[in-house]
A = this chain, B = another copy of it.
Amino acid sequence: MLARLCYKEAVPKVVDPAERRSLLAEAVLRVVRRDGLEQASVRNVAREAGLSMGSLRHYFASQSELMVFAFRTVVERIELRLAGLEPESDPRRRAQRILSELLPLDEGRRAENEVWLAFTSRAMVDPALRALRGEGYDALRAGCRTLIADLSAAGLAPADVPAETDRLHALLDGLAVHAAMRPDIHTAESLTTAIERHLDALATERASRDASGRSQEPSS
């Protein structure tokens, strides 16, 4: 009996409650991608996860809560992937690597991208999702700004950091939308080279403006 008390939290549970919620969130993502967000009803998600409606409602009090959690799961997964990247000191290679990580280059990221698009669209009329979408937007924009600032400091991008952040951010999301619309045309290779070309263009433009506009350049 005393032994039992020591192990009270060790093995007994078949599945962790938090893990159950994650499994349900992934069921949401599967349904959203396969049938669209409007098909992600409580019934369909429960069936997809192999649970009953009542059981699902034990983990999520409302469907809105379920949707918000599922969306947040996608956002956190992307952040985790970015955090897991090995550090890269060269700004050009770092930009290339981080931006490539954000593009839908494989099946998993394609799924995330499509789900992201669906949630983004619904966030137009759903306040709860709008707040989350805003967070994702801000995080991505901040990331773009950091990359551009580093490139600019290294003389590999124009000096107007806000303007180039705007352009890179729009290019990134535009490529993602196009990849979702025409996955046959926008392959992993074409997306990667599109980003490469843009980074090349930034460097070329900076070099050109430096050469024409100034006689001296900053040494460090």
Contacts and interface: CB of A to CB of B under 8 A. Distances in A.
A137 interface: yes
B170 A194 contact: yes
Interface residues of A, number: 48
Contacts of A173: 173-174, 177-178
Given A35-B125, A117-B124, A124-B117, A175 B170 contact: yes
Interface string A176-206: 0110111000000010011001100100110
A123 to B, nearest CB: 8
Nearest to A119: B121
Nearest to A163: B197
Interface in A154-176: 158, 160, 163, 166-167, 169-175
* Count of chain copies: 2
A133 interface: yes
Contacts of A118: 121, 124
Contacts of A201: 158, 167, 201, 205
A107 interface: no
Contacts of A208: 204-205, 207-208, 211
Interface in A83-125: 114, 117-118, 120-125
Contacts of A114: 124
Nearest to A211: B208
Nearest to A137: B181
Q: Which 4 A-B pairs have the closest CB atoms?
A: A174-B174, A170-B174, A121-B121, A208-B208
Interface of A: 34-39, 114, 117-118, 120-126, 133-134, 137, 158, 160, 163, 166-167, 169-175, 177-178, 180-182, 190, 193-194, 197-198, 201, 204-205, 207-209, 211
23 contacts: A35-B125, A36-B122, A38-B38, A134-B181, A134-B182, A158-B201, A160-B197, A163-B193, A163-B194, A166-B194, A167-B194, A169-B178, A170-B174, A170-B175, A170-B178, A172-B174, A173-B173, A173-B178, A174-B174, A177-B177, A204-B205, A204-B208, A208-B211
